[in-house]
């Protein structure tokens, strides 16, 4: 079986939780990341 690499938002959540940020901060970061991805034409930030 091939293990898929973690998705971008999963990586962000893991990093935020590791740093013990509040849940509200996590939700806000996820919101803005999704907003940016949609704004940029649904391209992955790695591909820009």
Confidence band, pLDDT 50/70/90 cuts, at residue 4: confident
Is the pLDDT at 1 greater than 80? The verdict is no
Does residue 3 fall inside a structural domain? no
CA distances from 23 to 2, 4, 19, 40 (A): 32, 26, 11, 26
Does residue 47 fall inside a structural domain? no
Does residue 48 fall inside a structural domain? no
CA distance 19 to 13: 10
- Which domain does 28 fall in, by range? 8-41
| Predicted confidence (pLDDT) per residue in 13-47, tens digit | 999 999 999 999 999 999 999 998 889 888 766 77
In this prediction, residue 43 carries a pLDDT of 77
CA distance 13 to 45: 16
In this prediction, residue 48 carries a pLDDT of 74
């Amino acid at each position: 079986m091939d293990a898929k690499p973690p998705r971008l938002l999963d990586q962000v959540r893991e990093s935020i939780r590791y740093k013990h940020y509040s849940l509200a901060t996590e939700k806000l970061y996820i919101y803005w990341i999704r907003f940016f991805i949609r704004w940029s034409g649904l391209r992955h930030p790695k591909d820009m």
